[in-house]
Structure 1
Amino acid sequence: MEHGFDTMDDYDFEGKTVLLRVDVNSPVDPLSGELLDDTRMVLHSTTIEELSERGAKVVILAHQSRPGKSDFTTLKQHALALTNIIGKEVQYVDSIFSSEAQKIITNMVNGEIILLENVRFFSEEMPKLSAEEQANSVLVQKLYPLANYFVNDAFATAHRSQTSIIGFSQVLPSIAGRVMELELNSLFGILDNAQEPRVYVLGGIKADDSINVMANALKSNKADYVLTTGLVANIFLVAKGYNIQEYNNNFIRERGFEDYIEIAKELLADYDEKIILPVDLAILENDNRVEYSIDEIPNLPIYDIGSKTIEAYKEKILEAKTLFANGPAGVFEKEGFNLGTEDLLNAIGQSNGFSIIGGGHLAAAASSMDLDDDITHISSGGGASISLIAGEELPAVKALIESAKRYK
């Protein structure tokens, strides 16, 4: 492939044992322990089904939450959910690499599917180590002799350097699953083959993520316009000298983003004509939406971009040939302040350009608006997609590429 990793099209899986890493981390009811959403299991079912139908013995590795969290639990419910989704039994194994688990793997027949226990029950899973170091872990050393291939479909954790993500690439031919392949092809597509005009719509409360994406896109000349919303817009307004008042300045400081004001000043100095700021904002005033010009902001919370800004941004979006969006335009969960987020998402859906939503809350909003078929690609991995678009190397992708060279 162009970016150097192998896919499932490159291998024959008949009679082979495949270790398959997926990300089925899901919200869990704290009282009943039942899964509240099966979106990620539906997503990965394509890869699981294909491997099974092609005669592989499918050994699934996955995690649920992390130590110390209330939803850090077993994968028993996940196995039941996958069984229902796929229409074929997914056997739950209540250990990761015990003698009993190894025996079950050894005795599997072609097409059989099992799900091992939550890999984060294994304490060595979490530390950030190199792939070479992770390959020496007990998890890898116990399981890899039982397998022929490692398939990584867990794009949502591709930015993590954890044992089950990168360790097997040192000792087994490692392959991108269908979710991983689709994500990488889509995201590399916006980086490598973007048609002009290229418009980035960047907002949300995780301002560091969006500003890092902005800096990379501008410095590498991959963005023609950046439309700022959310906390990102507030930071840039301050950087440009606007008074957004004490309440909103304090919010920036409390979130730990005060240093990003200087970064914003530097970006404005170099790319002022490309960075588009709001001309009006929606304020929470007496529990109502009230809009003000950016030079008349009262000392009240900024909750959304204003109507004039929305219309100006929609024009840029509809003209775009390539679109990348990350983060809501405001507090879209609050009635009356969903206008910016929803109107911009609708414009992205109406656009004839190649469009990507970078996961997270904006992806959830797009799905809730039934825009999945109108947007080219909605990423399943917020952190991973943002890291890639921001120019960072993803450990899982690096491991796949190195494996392809090693087992060529």
Structure 2
Amino acid sequence: MQETRWAQVWMSIGLLWFLLAIAIAPTNKIYQQGLVAFLWLPAMIFTWSARARLRELFHEQRWVYLPMLGLLIWSLISLTWTNASDISRESKRLLYIVVFLLFFPVFANGRTERVIRIMQWGGFGLAVTAVVAIVKFYGVSGNGLSARLEGLGELSHPILGGYVIGVAAVWLALWAPSTGKIQINWAVALAVLVVFVLLSQSRGAALALFLTLLAMPIWCNDRRSRVVAAAALIIATLAFLFFEPLVMARGVSYRPQILAASLQMIAEHPWCGLGLGGDYKVFASGQYFDHAHNLFTHIAIELGLPGLVLWCAIWFAALFQAWKVRETFYARGVIGIWVFSTLAMQFDAASLTGTPRAEWFISWLPLGLASVLVWARVKPDACDKISRLPNQ
């Protein structure tokens, strides 16, 4: 049933909505409603017809989904002691995450190139929104070049916008099209995404992007990856020379102090944490911060050391699955997204189980994409299918 044309169109719209509407939806409410209509609903409807694929997935990636089940159960148990204002809302968010993760194997149905195609279109779309944001921020609004660029929609925060656009740059760099003319469009889109990250002055996003692109030859080992790595090194050097005063002016933004205070909070509730959705503030250097600015310490604060261990088991098991098939085109992109996300998590990630938002691009999206790795070997060279663009 999920292979019918109308079902594939429906789910393709759903994934594109997740990737693009975060920058173009008028309000967050509309973004969430669109996800329900285009992504969660088809995932739930087609889960039964895709049950054979799901059985195959759970068998092959059991070391991902067993700790995932453990984390889900532990999160539900923690609701008995959390100070969250609405326990039913927290449990509902867990259901959203489960359905989101189910969507990817249902949509792919064993075909990795199907996911790559939509991700490529999403990368191009985000590049267009980046151009619009740059023109709007510096041209229409008249901000100076020293001002931190803000994206559109839910990406209006420089840090969140930098992370979403940064991870889009990574998947475009690694899932590059192989046909002639479209490669020019690809190069322009990739350049726009990199420029956006630099103009956002989000040092965490820029560092994560730079290190990921620089490390590409480790798991790709081809000419294109070496060219991208060399270009990243040159651009990073030039960017530091031009932006050095702006980069150094903000210091370390209290990150060491926040980390120390977060570790102290973990030590106070090491086993149970505050509970899923627990409200907390980090007190460091005489002021309060809204969150731990690090996904791993955030999880430990909310879910204690058991939750942290389960999350680490999930996260590194996903990398292991990708590394086993790193010679495939699909796995190379997943590894790159995983590396970028892991680095990005260290600086500003503030939510694991919140409603779909920018943080999902560096937490649940990599895990959703990793679920399709089961079928990567079937078509190891599955590449782009987007050469049929207008005027080509």
Structure 2 length normalisation: TM-score?
Answer: 0.27
The structure having more radius of gyration, on CA atoms, is 1
Of Structure 1 and Structure 2, the greater strand share is in 1
Structure with the larger helix share:
2
**Which structure is higher in RCO with an 8 Å CA cutoff and minimum separation 6?**
2
With the length of structure 1 as denominator, give the TM-score of the two structures. 0.26
